[in-house]
Amino acid sequence: MIVLKTAREIEIMREAGRISAMALRLVGENVKPGISTYELDKIAYDYIISQNATPGFLNYNGFPASACISINNQVIHGIPNKNTVLKSGDIVSVDLGAVFEGYNGDNAATFACGEVSDEAKRLIEVTRDSLYKGIDQALEGGRLGDISHAIQEYVESRGYSVVREFVGHGVGTKLHESPEVPNYGTAGRGVRLMPGMTLAIEPMINIGKPAVKTLGDGWTVVTKDGSLSAHFEHSVAITKNGPIILTDADYCKKQ
């Protein structure tokens, strides 16, 4: 069942989104050679707690950290640890969220660590841009497939592939709500978009083929061909006046 949010609920989600976005920004600012993913996770945890919120990912279905931190060919759900230390040339995908007054924020971004290759820079840019192509289609009266198709068309036109096994989702009092939001699909198809819907739109894009696999830890998802992968995500509310990005870092700057 899709849960439509009231204006008041969306305001609470905007605060959850602000906290999530600021935590993500702080982690990104600390993505530098020599830091461990454990230390990055602690930065996220400490900030979220300082805002009278709780990390939405910590212990979610048993996940042991506040942030998923995935490096290079790791697509999503990388587990932070003290032994994984970043080096120059890595690309680092960070996915995290905060719960505020019972509502979830959820966002992700891929950061360059030190000097990265031109192909890595381009992958990050295309993945980020594809997220906004999808958000542009999050319009009242449209269809869910409009979002999915816009992402897929943009990514594939630039020679990259869309991960199929993992998708975006509704977000609210639960981290994962209906509907699923694939990053591929047909325009004009799917659920009708209505004001009050809140969606986590999150393209996961590979340089190589789209196939992925889950490692033995039960969490970390990697590309099967070992190619680089990038991930961006915003929580978005659909309104009569167009989409509101609940996890907008630019919005955070103004506070």
Would residue 138 count as lying in a domain? yes
Taking the C-alpha atoms of residue 228 and residue 100, their distance in angstroms, rounded to an integer, is 33
Domain that holds residue 194: 7-253
What pLDDT sits at residue 254?
A: 41
What pLDDT sits at residue 20?
A: 98
Would residue 98 count as lying in a domain? yes
What pLDDT sits at residue 73?
A: 98
Would residue 111 count as lying in a domain? yes
Would residue 57 count as lying in a domain? yes
Structural domain count of the chain: 1
pLDDT mean for each 10 residues of the chain (255 residues): 97 97 97 98 98 98 98 98 98 98 98 98 98 98 98 98 98 98 98 98 98 98 98 98 90 45
Would residue 2 count as lying in a domain? no
SS3 95: strand
Q: In terms of Cα–Cα distance, which of 211, 250, 203, 195 is closest to 231?
A: 203
Q: Which amino acid is at 225?
A: D
What pLDDT sits at residue 250?
A: 65
CATH of the domain at 23: 3.90.230.10
Would residue 1 count as lying in a domain? no
What pLDDT sits at residue 251?
A: 52
